[in-house]
Amino acid sequence: QQGCTPECSAAAPKMSFKSAVFSMTNTIIGSGTLTIPFIFSKCGWLVANVIALTVVVLTTFSVHLLATTCDIVASDTVCSFETLGHAACGFKGSLYAEVTFIVGGIGTLTGYLI
């Protein structure tokens, strides 16, 4: 079932802005603390900085796309990234959201293992 039902909205966990900022900061610093020194030691400062700048640009663009899509799609029909992808692009959008989270999780786990 796609979309946000009243039950889904009521059951969705609520988070304050302060908690969201803390959670995102913890996530970013946690994995970056382990991965960034390894990248710099293996690639050198020039290539590592180019990689870091590329990641910053891609992240900024993806946040822009998310914000624009949220503005276009009715917010009462979206409860997750998967439903946002479905509302924007149909089945392929929801599949892309799922695959992106799986690949991101694998990348994070790989960073922790290295």
DSSP string, 67-90: HHHHHHS-GGG-SSHHHHHHHHHT
Q: Does a structural domain hold residue 1? A: no
* 67 in a structural domain: yes
Could you report the per-residue pLDDT of 61-110, keeping only the tens digit for each?
A: 988 988 888 788 776 777 788 888 888 888 998 899 899 989 988 987 88
pTM over 0.85: no
Residue 109 lies in a domain: yes
Q: In terms of residue numbers, what domain contains 82?
A: 6-113
More confident residue, 20 or 44: 44
The tally of domains found in the chain comes to 1
pLDDT of 53: 95
3-state DSSP helix/strand/coil % of the chain, to nearest 5? 85, 0, 15
